[in-house]
Amino acid sequence: MYKVIIIDDEPIIVEGLSRTIPWEKFGCQIVATAYDGMEGTEAIRKFKPNIVISDIAMPGLDGLAMVAGIKSEFPDLEISILTGYRVFDYAQKAIKLGVTRFILKPSNMEELEEAIVAMGNNLKAKNITEESHTSNEGHESSKSENAASSFIVNNAIGYIEKNYARKLTLSDVAEKTYVSQWHLSKLLNLHTGQNFSEILNDIRIREAKELLKNPSLRIGDVAEMVGYVDMAHFSRMFKKILGIPATEYRNTVSAKEIE
């Protein structure tokens, strides 16, 4: 039986989908339900379903980020979106990320059953049967997987650029992009050639360069403003990335301004 998870913040919809669809008729069984994005993502990691039916307009949830996260981490997972969010551009982006069906609420039984059949057919096409749950030849890279991975990396870097000044960990960024720390680390390396710490330090030092142009700011103040609590660490990173100490960089900038 294909394993199914339903995610929606409206319990009546979760209950309705669970009870009214003849899941066994489609070779499926519901293994878990969830009522928000984080709970849903945790359930997906725990139960490793074949099919997910989810809303994406839930409180506190970036729906596209969640879709990209689970699709990148579990590329063979079939996802259908059930939502009242009527924006065509949003639907296009969701489908690009690998969503099989984008169903608008209120939906009818025919639409839902057609989506389940389509997802089942896609699983069979990938050699994932109701008995095996796994692919016979392993997973091959797809456009949707690449789109999802790129979406996650762009979101992750965007989040780092907005929050570099505070204490920031890989775990924080992974939570915001709906992927595991391990998977995010792998994607960052794959797409940028850098690990999380290298990306964070590059962004912090880039911002420090701009702040050092202001002579009224002490170097210690600049270090703190870009997220370094340890002045010595800031100095090491600055010299490592730019090849010269922060004091020398400031003197060079000041000399250029005088000229």
Q: What are the pLDDT digits (tens) for 93-107? A: 899 999 999 998 888
Per-residue pLDDT of 117-164, as tens digits, reads: 999 999 999 998 876 654 448 444 577 888 999 999 999 999 999 999
- Co-location of 103 and 207 in the same domain: no
Per-residue pLDDT of 72-81, as tens digits, reads: 999 999 999 9
CATH number, position 8:
3.40.50.2300
Range of the domain at 82: 2-125
- Establish if 171 belongs to a structural domain: no
Given a contact cutoff of 8 angstroms between Cβ atoms, the answer to whether 40 and 67 are in contact is no
- Establish if 100 belongs to a structural domain: yes
- Establish if 160 belongs to a structural domain: no
The single-letter code of the amino acid at 55 is D
- Co-location of 6 and 116 in the same domain: yes
- Co-location of 12 and 97 in the same domain: yes
CATH number, position 249:
1.10.10.60
- Establish if 104 belongs to a structural domain: yes
What pTM does this model have? Answer: 0.84
Which distant-in-sequence residues (6+ apart) come within 8 Å of 113 by Cβ?
Answer: 21, 26
The single-letter code of the amino acid at 185 is S
Task: Compute the mean pLDDT over every residue in the chain, rounded to the nearest whole number.
Answer: 90
Among the three residues 109, 125, 141, which one is the final residue of a domain in this structure?
A: 125
- Establish if 168 belongs to a structural domain: no
- Establish if 178 belongs to a structural domain: no
- Establish if 54 belongs to a structural domain: yes
Question: How far out from the chain centre does Cα 204 lie?
Answer: 22
The first and second tokens of residue 58, run together, are 């839930």
Q: What is the pLDDT of residue 37?
A: 85
Q: What is the pLDDT of residue 140?
A: 46
Q: How many domains does the chain have?
A: 2
Q: What is the pLDDT of residue 132?
A: 60
Among the three residues 67, 98, 125, which one is the final residue of a domain in this structure?
A: 125
Q: What is the pLDDT of residue 56?
A: 85
Among the three residues 73, 94, 125, which one is the final residue of a domain in this structure?
A: 125
Given a contact cutoff of 8 angstroms between Cβ atoms, the answer to whether 80 and 88 are in contact is no
